[in-house]
Structure 1
């Protein structure tokens, strides 16, 4: 006997997301959660019950039932953020999660790996590389040993006799939900990378990825659990990854962070397993996957297809870092919406709170932060020129320079105005406008009759099309700027 939520709706009771629990021995007996009946003083309409149904009421000892699926699914379902979902969306999503329970990484379990690909480290010679270990703060020693033991337990690393040796460092990660600080163990493979032969497999351009997300109503982003560690290293190259910590020498069995060819290997893997769906229902940048659709049912079907491929490749998803059925979602440092691309508010807050740079290093940090969003700012290079000039070795810093201060304040202000970058519609005509001065070039494109062809007129006063700017190098400053101002 199964009471659908629709039955409860017919009797004007609020729908509840109820689980069906089966007896261990007698799987034909099913229990209706008492919570459904009590929630709204509900009753069972006996006229809706078939003759062969058997109804019993009793205190339920959950230990006596087969709750394997419930025990597996409940902790996972609790990790999903569902505040933005209505009942139908939540129900469809939860069905899908239960169907693919085995693709989600569970804490305190061993991380598996894919057999689709193995990472290869090709070097110009076989001369072992040894770099002296760095000292790291005493306060982090326990954290380092803890992470080493976890990787040993998960067979991510093993004890090593390799003549190779790289130093380690430990850096801060984003704090967890409780505010507890988290740390990442980093291996310095710079010396190894110097003799590693490049892998020229292409990494997608972030701007090109974002351009393909227009006119979608649902977005899902998936984050692979410890992505690089789900790929094995070829046995003949394992010894090259050796590193040293206090009291031990180890080498990686799985692909670590820091190897210069690791991103290419990972992108090759993802393109291989999702090649039938990339640019159609999903896009992939290393271990970040975004699924996009125009309707709920289409989106559920698309997620199902991606889950199936990940399952076949034995890849695990980090559920608490994934987002499902979102109308707006964070992806590759931007906020993706049906209307366009926005800068990430968290990054903008960093820009807003950034103190005026007092050293060339701080200037680089600020320009690195704002430069990631330069396409949102008209004449970015021209505005930033008074700051970039102080990056030259022969120019002394003057933080009281009025132009320098104005440049800094203008960049901060323009990014905090929450601009939206429109998606290009390549079936329409574009207008390209270019401009130039003695020290900077600029350009922007716009769609003709924008309000007539885009469905988001209410945002028109904010929407911009990408801007492109560049500082003119000294060798090119003699060229005339007269022909540079054009409309195409």
Structure 2
């Protein structure tokens, strides 16, 4: 029978290392189909054929495995699957799922298929629930989203509603197609005539007041009607950057400047202003469904414009929907041809949003326009306070001077050189590039000769591409003695920031790597890669003592500067006045520059009056939970297991200081976490879950504690918990509560309140 077996292609590992995992899965499925078709059931024979058909590369690879892992067909299969299949980071895959939006080129069913494939990598306990939640957030139809939020529906019901809506939309477009041009003309005829009359007076590029006929701020007819005030109010001039006027009437500019602005008025018309000159305008390259498009960034524009030429070049052309909106050139009653509009996902770097684009007839891609609202959502527009930061603080890689970190090693713990973990072939090039980068930055070095400690590495993909090398220090940490340096608590931070009205946050670039390791402390950081052993020359993530050591080291640098506090690598500069804050900020930046530290420009914030930090938002006179934390908790679905419930309670405990009666509200939920209780989600748990989220989403702001003010403490007791409220001058400073033990809950009400 062996002679009757057909030819079967061997598996070539090096053919394409990046796709080795995917190709292996497909090849192995074909092999199992072969042995099933020929009714081969003997385990030894299956193993022999497996190695034979695998080819020379598989044979050589299997020869390197321990004998115990190749003794049976099942064991060999498991070992090879582990070798070729890259480790899946479920947290990262879940993050990717949360970012997924419906593309303009796909229908809801196609969006569902993409979500289903991604959810398979996330190990969700209830995949349908997670997919439904993301579909509600990610669909382009706001009508469908509103219906799903209003009515509690299942995933199948949601898909059915979506299909019906898409079918209705398609039928409506077909019916309206022949009448579209006439409909647009009829809907705008009156507005076009009115506009022609209003704009009959020519407008020059000079900023001269036309004897009461022209507004000196916006260039339109003056006085303005009460229903339509000056359009320039609150806008910034593109010529002189000063507020409350447009560049076309700017009195500071020597000549006509580039102005491109789209404005909405009471009618359905849209004005597009375009005054040409040689002055350079700000542009940005955005991604429309992964297709790069260059646009002019206009802070005054209210709609997004795409030319026909650009639209035809899109890889996935979205369906254009008819619209009666008319777009006019500046100072003209000549209406531009609007071909239609579409809604799509827009991306710039790591930010994305959903935006509507109007497609107009035109052959120049330089006339694509990005509105102010969309630009702000994509992070292209920011309102910054001017701070003179030395440029060298942002360049290069930092190493703090005159400071070396010594790890204290316990000699009683025997060294352990762990076995090398195979690195998947498709990631090896990325790993080699990262190793080279770290060597060039003087962060790691090659290891020669024998070494008592060797740790394996874990490869983690970065959001921006490439990989991050994480050393598994669990065994080595058993020998590293921790320095019990006190870490600041949130109460310490609140006390330090009390009375501050101006804030800055300074973030150090790869902070731990800026501290050099003592020569005698480097050997324990040795790790293995497929190109040899390396070890760290700088402090690294994964070392159990790293946070405390870094906290102490940075404290020794900044301890004598007033108005500065820090938590590990985040430095907070604060002051009661702008001048006080600026003085502390300058001293801090000068000290960091002197010590050779480097900053992360993207994460630094300067001179704001409200700052989010450690899950809390600190303002001039109050603190509150960070809005993103509140939103995350508010969007959590009811838990389906004890572990999910514990995670939810852990998140809410973090903000319990803002919730009155927290212990009493959560009592039905905490009951389910006891080992003696059987999981049963009932109405009382549902009510407690909803009440807790309601309390959190409606929470007010808290005052800072001031030791100079009169303080009141109000206390109360319930059958399930104790509560307290700290008040100063009628404002709540903090809530506190704790649950009662079984014995305490049997006390009388009088005893509980004593």
Structure 1 residue 253: Cα displacement: 0.9
Aligned to 1:435: 716
Give the 3-state SS of the residue equivalent to 1:192 in structure 2: helix
Alpha-carbon distance between aligned partners in 2 of 1:244 and 1:189, rounded to the nearest angstrom: 12
Q: 1:64-143, aligned counterparts within 5 Å?
A: 83-85=382-384, 90=386, 93=387, 96-97=388-389, 100-104=390-394, 106=395, 109-123=396-410, 125-132=412-419, 140-143=427-430
Q: 1:102 to 1:146 in 2, by over 3 A?
A: same
Alpha-carbon distance between aligned partners in 1 of 2:564 and 2:518, rounded to the nearest angstrom: 30
Give the 3-state SS of the residue equivalent to 1:127 in structure 2: coil
Alpha-carbon distance between aligned partners in 1 of 2:494 and 2:467, rounded to the nearest angstrom: 30
Structure 1 residue 276: Cα displacement: 1.1
Aligned to 2:753: 485
1:389 to 2:602 alignment: no
Alignment counterpart, residue 41 of structure 1, candidates 232, 236, 254: 254
Structure 1 residue 290: Cα displacement: 0.8
Structure 1 residue 340: Cα displacement: 1.2
Aligned to 1:360: 642
Alignment counterpart, residue 688 of structure 2, candidates 399, 407, 430: 407
Q: 1:176-191, aligned counterparts within 5 Å?
A: 180=464, 184-191=468-475
Alpha-carbon distance between aligned partners in 1 of 2:439 and 2:433, rounded to the nearest angstrom: 10
Structure 1 residue 423: Cα displacement: 0.7
Aligned 8 A contact 2:499 2:621 in 1: yes
Q: 1:137 to 1:340 in 2, by over 3 A?
A: farther
Alpha-carbon distance between aligned partners in 2 of 1:212 and 1:442, rounded to the nearest angstrom: 26
Aligned 8 A contact 1:433 1:485 in 2: no
Aligned 8 A contact 1:144 1:185 in 2: yes
Structure 1 residue 202: Cα displacement: 0.8
CA RMSD of aligned residues (A): 3.2
Q: 1:276 to 1:432 in 2, by over 3 A?
A: same
Q: 1:125 to 1:248 in 2, by over 3 A?
A: same
Aligned 8 A contact 2:422 2:530 in 1: no
Aligned to 1:165: 454
- Larger deviation, residues 265-274 vs 363-372: 363-372
Aligned 8 A contact 1:158 1:250 in 2: yes
Q: Higher RCO, 1 or 2 (CA under 8 Å, sep at least 6)?
A: 1
Give the 3-state SS of the residue equivalent to 1:354 in structure 2: coil
Structure 1 residue 347: Cα displacement: 1.7
Structure 1 residue 134: Cα displacement: 5.7
Alpha-carbon distance between aligned partners in 1 of 2:569 and 2:512, rounded to the nearest angstrom: 8
Q: 1:16 to 1:272 in 2, by over 3 A?
A: same
Structure 1 residue 103: Cα displacement: 2.2
Q: 1:206-221, aligned counterparts within 5 Å?
A: 206-221=490-505
Give the 3-state SS of the residue equivalent to 1:250 in structure 2: strand
Aligned to 2:440: 153
Alpha-carbon distance between aligned partners in 2 of 1:213 and 1:186, rounded to the nearest angstrom: 35
Alpha-carbon distance between aligned partners in 1 of 2:642 and 2:421, rounded to the nearest angstrom: 26
Q: 1:200 to 1:300 in 2, by over 3 A?
A: same
Alpha-carbon distance between aligned partners in 1 of 2:472 and 2:741, rounded to the nearest angstrom: 34
Q: 1:423 to 1:139 in 2, by over 3 A?
A: farther
Alpha-carbon distance between aligned partners in 1 of 2:639 and 2:414, rounded to the nearest angstrom: 43
Aligned 8 A contact 2:663 2:720 in 1: no
Give the 3-state SS of the residue equivalent to 1:444 in structure 2: strand
Alignment counterpart, residue 337 of structure 1, candidates 615, 619, 626: 619
Alignment counterpart, residue 229 of structure 1, candidates 513, 532, 549: 513
Alpha-carbon distance between aligned partners in 2 of 1:363 and 1:297, rounded to the nearest angstrom: 48
Q: 1:364 to 1:139 in 2, by over 3 A?
A: farther
TM-score under structure 1 length normalisation = 0.71
Aligned 8 A contact 2:512 2:550 in 1: yes
Task: Describe the superposition over 1:389-434 as per-residue Cα deviations: whole angstroms up to 9, x where unpaired.
Answer: 33333322223x1222222222222222253121111101211122
Aligned 8 A contact 1:233 1:254 in 2: yes
Aligned 8 A contact 1:220 1:326 in 2: yes
Structure 1 residue 269: Cα displacement: 1.1
Aligned to 1:65: none
Aligned to 1:469: 737
Q: 1:168 to 1:442 in 2, by over 3 A?
A: farther
Aligned to 1:313: 595
Aligned 8 A contact 2:423 2:530 in 1: no
Structure with higher Rg: it is 2
**Unaligned stretches of 5+ residues in structure 1:** 1-12, 18-36, 43-79, 451-463
- Larger deviation, residues 164-173 vs 310-319: 164-173
Task: Describe the superposition over 1:29-81 as per-residue Cα deviations: whole angstroms up to 9, x where unpaired.
Answer: xxxxxxxx996118xxxxxxxxxxxxxxxxxxxxxxxxxxxxxxxxxxxxx99
TM-score under structure 2 length normalisation = 0.47
Would you say how many aligned residue pairs link Structure 1 and Structure 2?
388
Aligned 8 A contact 2:398 2:596 in 1: no
Q: 1:300 to 1:130 in 2, by over 3 A?
A: same
